[in-house]
Structure 1
Amino acid sequence: MLLRFRTANVRSLRDEQELSFVAPPSEAAASARTVETGAGEDIDVYPVLGIFGANASGKSNVLTAMVQMRNAVLNSYAQWASYRGIPREVFALDAKAVEESSFFEVDVLLDGVRWTYGFELGPERVTGEWLHSYPQGRRQVWMDRDVEREDEFRFPGTRIKDRARLARTTRPNALFLSRAATDNHPQLLPLFYWFQRNLWLINPEDDRSQREAYTAQQLSSVRRERIEELLRVADLGITGVRIDPRADAEGRVQLLHEGHQGTAAAFDWEHESFGTRSWFALLGPVLLALDEGAVLLLDELDSSLHPRMAAEVIRLFRDPMVNAGGAQLVFTTHDVAVLQTPAGVRLLDPGQIWLTEKDRTGATELYPLTAAEPGEEEDLPRSYLSGAFGGVPAVTEGQVGRRLLATQEREAAEHV
């Protein structure tokens, strides 16, 4: 379970930013779940976080930074050997950022124990890496790496076996955790597996065909009945799914639509609407995350989905009966309709709502709605759209049209 994520100098995230699933102690977190930390105390953790903000404010960059951390853990030892330095995407609007490190850190719960793992990536090598555990609430430093020291690696105590050999064989541009995983290190492999099983990104514009193929593959598994039911309940006119084993991969799945007098008609896949295909492609990854208790990242939740269906995705993760495995969802959206139901009931607590804004230097600031201290009865969609919380375009009503008209008038005057 993910508790917190921190990052800096990644795309528009210039200074350190934090995204936290931990509910503020001052908030009555109706959506949060109480979990044990192994320290004799409980904390409330959200299953869903939503990131809102104007276009180009950095919402997607938060998810990208999480994926980049995952990719570094999974690939730095096996794949970065071919790089002369380290593949990074630093803050582009400050020349100094190229020479500065990019920072990544997570707090996670593994088997009821909190762990903090992080690293810093310079242009040529890993400049820092650390791993801390908190059994019984007291910090244990398992590993500390600092390129500025003569002894780059330090291992207080004797907690990590074979540590000297692993440190000696870790390349400057590879992570110690990645190196240890290649040896199936028994103590560190669970943390590596956490990154392997979590932080999956779904972007509506990328890899949709792969997600469609994955969902189609799941129709031959125990998830078929749930996939068909979620297709029917989406009010798309779909009554079932037919699989043609003789067809190629793209034509194998046909969705059955309700026809005249109870008949069913199967459409060719390319004739299905973009919204139907988007919903179908989403089902496989969502069900996998729910079954695995994993962290799913969903960019532009509202893309091609009706607001009510977007809200239903949120409810899947909020419902402790449906989401018995403790899966978590981080999504970005522009659609304020997911903030509350048509009846005015809040779908998300203020602590689950995060906003992004860019400052004058083009750097993104990420902050929770709780920082704006909304009232208990406040209409969140209305206040958000009015700019009371920030995170909206600095455009007044009718400004686009007025600017366009003024430009047209100047162009006409120039050609007289």
Structure 2
Amino acid sequence: MLLRFRVANYRSLRDEHELSFVASDVDDEIVRHTGVESGGKEIGVIPAVGIFGANASGKSNLLSALVAMRAAVRDSVADWARDEGVPRDPFALDPACRRENTLFEVDLLLGQTKVRYTYGFELSDERVEAEWLHAYPGGHKQVWFDREADRAGGEEFRFPNENLRGAKKLVELARPNALFLTVGASFNNKQLRPLHRWFTNNFWVVASDDAGVAQRSDYTRERLVDPKRGDDYRKRVESLLRVADLGIVGLDIDEALPNDQQVKLLHRTGRGKPLPLDFRTQESLGTHAWFAFLGPVLEMLERGSVLLADELDSSLHPVLAAEVVRLFQDPDANPNGAQLLFTTHDATLLGKGVVGRPLSRDQVWITTKRGTGETELYPLTDAGPRTTDNLELGYLRGRYGGVPRVTAGELAREVTELVSGGV
């Protein structure tokens, strides 16, 4: 389970920012109890977090930062060896940031016993400038390793104890531009592999672009025809298609047809017998989006991993978006502790009207863009809303930030003035 994520000097996230899945109130009905304590208090984990903000405020960059951290952990040994230096994407609107490090850090719980780990690193264009891994078995901190580069081009690895077994002999295999975690996992260190595996199995990004929808549709279809999945997977997909109120009552699968034609959706008719439609040419864009969404959702629920949904509202009706949030918050539907991190403009997720407000104040974060082009990230609770406040109305009126600074009718006036001036 992901507890916290820290990032600095990545794209529009210039300053250090922290996103937290840790609940302030462990008695909230959606909070997952972990039995793990920190500072004398139990850590409660939030299963779904939404990031609200205006266009170009940096919401997507936060998701991208998690993916960039995963890519570094996964690829630093094999891919970074092809070129000198380190691939990274620092804040571009200030040239000085090219000389500053990029920071990534996660705080998480792993395994059946839910041991807490803190892992992070800092990168320059040339090398790994720092890297650290701390574990908290039984709630007590153990420094497994600390790595730091020096100005002379060398670096120091510190192993204060023998808690990370076999680590010292791996130091000579670690290039300056490779992460030690990746090196250890590559050489099958039993203690480092679970953390490395957490990165490789996490962070599926669901975006609304046409290429992404087509790719995920293929994935959902391939799993439906995979004999290893069996009828249970098909029943879950059919159930989620039916509850979306798309007029779909089932699936027709014919493995004798070409791959992209094997799955057809059965639609309700006025004559009693459902009829299949050609998925590529006859189904609506909304149906394509929902069908494509199901494969990643079911995969992440099965793994107990983190699903990153960029602009959740762009392809899903607000009622469906709310149901996706509730799916992750339901302990019976999500027994493995999967988490959802999504960006959205959909203020109805904050209201008590149509969707019944699936998000509590703890689950909402805001991004704003400063005048210098930097993203500012903060939890809604920092904006001071009361438990009795109408969050939807307050957000739309700009009380909490994260909305465009555009007054009513401003766009029309601008266009009118341009047209009038041109005449």
Q: Distance in 1 between matches of 2:270 and 2:130?
A: 66
Alignment match, 1:192: 196
Q: Check conservation: 2:322, 2:355, Cα contact below 8 A.
A: no
Q: Distance in 1 between matches of 2:41 and 2:362?
A: 20
Q: Write the letter of the residue equivalent to 1:384.
A: Y
Alignment match, 2:240: 230
Q: Offset at 1:155?
A: 1.1
1:74 correspondence with 2:78? no
Q: Write the letter of the residue equivalent to 1:374.
A: P
Any gaps of 5 or more consecutive residues in structure 1? Answer: none
Q: Distance in 2 between matches of 1:375 and 1:162?
A: 52
Q: Write the letter of the residue equivalent to 1:383.
A: G
Q: Offset at 1:41?
A: 4.6
Alignment match, 1:384: 395
Per-residue deviation, residues 249-301 of structure 1 (Å, max 9, x unmatched): 22221111112311222111122111101100110110111121111111011
Q: Offset at 1:105?
A: 0.1
Paired residues for 1:5-404 under 5 Å: 5-25=5-25, 29-37=28-36, 41-111=41-111, 112-148=114-150, 151-205=155-209, 206-220=211-225, 221=229, 222-270=232-280, 271-342=282-353, 345-404=356-415
Greater mean deviation of Cα atoms: 129-138 or 11-20: 129-138
Q: Distance in 2 between matches of 1:246 and 1:309?
A: 33
Per-residue deviation, residues 133-166 of structure 1 (Å, max 9, x unmatched): 1123322111101012755211111122332331
The structure-2 alpha-carbon separation of the partners of 1:125 and 1:333, relative to structure 1 and needing over 3 Å to count, comes to same
Q: Distance in 2 between matches of 1:297 and 1:158?
A: 36
Q: Distance in 1 between matches of 2:277 and 2:29?
A: 43
Q: Check conservation: 1:7, 1:13, Cα contact below 8 A.
A: yes
Q: Check conservation: 2:348, 2:355, Cα contact below 8 A.
A: no
Per-residue deviation, residues 173-226 of structure 1 (Å, max 9, x unmatched): 110011111111101101011111112211121432221111112224131100
Q: Offset at 1:118?
A: 0.2
Q: Check conservation: 1:38, 1:113, Cα contact below 8 A.
A: no
3-state SS of 1:361 partner = coil
Q: Distance in 2 between matches of 1:381 and 1:309?
A: 18
Q: Write the letter of the residue equivalent to 1:130.
A: W
3-state SS of 1:302 partner = helix
Q: Write the letter of the residue equivalent to 1:17.
A: H
Q: Distance in 2 between matches of 1:239 and 1:151?
A: 62
Q: Distance in 2 between matches of 1:345 and 1:282?
A: 22
Q: Distance in 2 between matches of 1:200 and 1:101?
A: 26
Greater mean deviation of Cα atoms: 271-280 or 257-266: 257-266
Q: Offset at 1:7?
A: 0.2
Q: How many residues align?
A: 411
Q: Distance in 1 between matches of 2:186 and 2:57?
A: 38
Q: Write the letter of the residue equivalent to 2:178.
A: A
Per-residue deviation, residues 62-101 of structure 1 (Å, max 9, x unmatched): 0000000011111111211112221111111010111211
3-state SS of 1:303 partner = helix
3-state SS of 1:211 partner = helix
Q: Check conservation: 1:170, 1:176, Cα contact below 8 A.
A: yes
The structure-2 alpha-carbon separation of the partners of 1:343 and 1:256, relative to structure 1 and needing over 3 Å to count, comes to closer
Any gaps of 5 or more consecutive residues in structure 2? Answer: none
Q: Check conservation: 1:9, 1:103, Cα contact below 8 A.
A: yes
Q: Write the letter of the residue equivalent to 1:239.
A: V
Q: In percent, how many aligned pairs have the same letter? A: 51
Task: Normalising by structure 1, report the TM-score.
Answer: 0.95
Q: Offset at 1:340?
A: 3.1
Q: Check conservation: 2:37, 2:43, Cα contact below 8 A.
A: no
Per-residue deviation, residues 357-410 of structure 1 (Å, max 9, x unmatched): 011110001100000111111111111000000000010111111111112122
Task: Normalising by structure 2, report the TM-score.
Answer: 0.94
Q: Distance in 2 between matches of 1:303 and 1:70?
A: 25
Q: Distance in 1 between matches of 2:62 and 2:185?
A: 26
Q: Check conservation: 1:38, 1:114, Cα contact below 8 A.
A: no
Q: Offset at 1:244?
A: 2.2
3-state SS of 1:37 partner = strand
Q: Distance in 2 between matches of 1:376 and 1:151?
A: 50
Q: Write the letter of the residue equivalent to 2:203.
A: L
Greater mean deviation of Cα atoms: 37-46 or 191-200: 37-46
Q: Write the letter of the residue equivalent to 2:257.
A: A
Q: Offset at 1:248?
A: 2.2
Q: Distance in 1 between matches of 2:220 and 2:274?
A: 22
Alignment match, 2:2: 2
Greater mean deviation of Cα atoms: 212-221 or 173-182: 212-221
